[in-house]
Amino acid sequence: MQRLPELQARIHNLSELGNVVGALRAVSAARVQQAHLVLESIRQYTEIIHEALSEAARTLDAARRTKEAAAHPGFVIAFGSEHGFVGTFNDRVLDVVDGHRKAADELLVVGSRAELVARERREPISWSCQSASAVSGVDEVALLLAERLSLAGARRPVDRVSLVYTRITEGAAARVVIETLLPFDVEPYLKNETGRPKVVSNLSPLRLLDGLVDELLFAQLAHAATESFASENVARLSAMQAATENVADKLDDLGRLERELRQEEITTELLDVVTGAEAVIGAR
């Protein structure tokens, strides 16, 4: 039978674990709120770029609006988690990647824990980097990805890039989405009439459009990294909530067992006292 000191030690250790779980839950909740604020800023920035693209696209002639279909291997960027305690977060992302990626496409993985899961699954990773551990690191992740694509473009044309990341939808439900980064389709911007006078620019129309597309690509990378960061922390928050409930249930069970052991000790002590008293009386 378990001794009372051992049981009390277990209760103490479990209480300490509960404190750690509570701290992780609080940190995850704070990071989710921070990510939502950043996402709103990225949306506003992206809308400004969309308006500028609509203005710039109208200055192109029809010949330059036509883009040939990509004939080169593409890139698939998978955004996973940097840390653990996220359940099947990374597996869900990689499952979508497996269904979307073509055999010749290069796989870029964002997130140390996602890279570990991908290597366990024997995914053909060509490059990886750490994900943001704080919302302030999202821009750095986007810059690293942009630099990687730029270096790849120096070797061969980069015509097709897809982003695979987790997005939080209504009701706090997580959904893995696929977003096309390249090829850039100018046609939707031609249909978006702003009603403003024709833009006046000192740059050539093609150079202006290329610069705005670069800005849009960076905004999309930052948006995907932020969405993934928020989703990772939502997954961790959910896991820590479940762990908190499990710890509380276990503490209740151990608390009842502790009371039973205390009662048994008290009963044993009383029996010893009664037995001793009876022995003294009998001796007299």
* Nearest in space to 59 (alpha carbons), one of 202, 222, 230, 248: 202
In a domain, 178, yes or no: yes
Contact 62, 187 (CB under 8 A): no
DSSP code at position 15: H
Based on the fold, state whether residues 124 and 221 are members of the same structural domain.
yes
Is 197 part of a structural domain of the chain?
no
Q: Are residues 260 and 219 part of one domain?
A: no
Residue 196 inside a domain? The answer is no
The predicted model scores a pTM of 0.82
**191 part of a folded domain:** no
pLDDT value for 131: 94
Same domain for 251 and 230? Answer: no
Helix segments in the chain, DSSP class H: 4-57, 62-65, 89-100, 112-120, 138-155, 187-191, 205-283
Residue 259: give the domain boundaries: 4-16+240-283
Asked whether the beta carbons of 181 and 74 are under 8 A apart, the reply is no
- Structural domain total, the chain: 2
Whether 119 and 103 share a structural domain: yes
Q: Do 21 and 247 touch, CB atoms closer than 8 A?
A: yes
What is the separation, in whole angstroms, between the first and last Cα of the chain? 38
In this structure, are 271 and 146 located in the same domain? no
| CA 266/CA 271 separation, integer angstroms | 9
Q: Are residues 77 and 60 in the same domain?
A: yes
Phi-psi region of 35 (alpha: psi -120 to 50; beta: other; left: phi over 0): alpha
- Same domain, residue pair 140 and 246: no
Which pair of tokens denotes residue 12? 């103490």
Q: Are 53 and 175 part of one and the same domain?
A: yes
Answer yes or no: do 93 and 179 share one domain.
yes
pLDDT at 86: 93
pLDDT at 161: 94
Same domain, 114 and 79: yes
Per-residue pLDDT tens digits of the chain, which is 284 residues long: 568 788 888 888 888 888 988 888 898 999 999 998 999 999 999 999 988 888 877 776 544 444 554 567 899 999 999 999 999 999 999 999 999 999 889 999 999 999 999 999 999 999 999 999 999 999 999 999 999 999 988 888 888 999 999 998 776 678 999 999 988 877 777 766 555 666 666 667 778 888 888 999 999 999 999 999 999 999 999 889 888 888 888 888 888 888 888 888 788 777 777 777 677 777 66
Q: Do 246 and 107 share a structural domain? A: no
What's residue 63's pLDDT?
A: 40
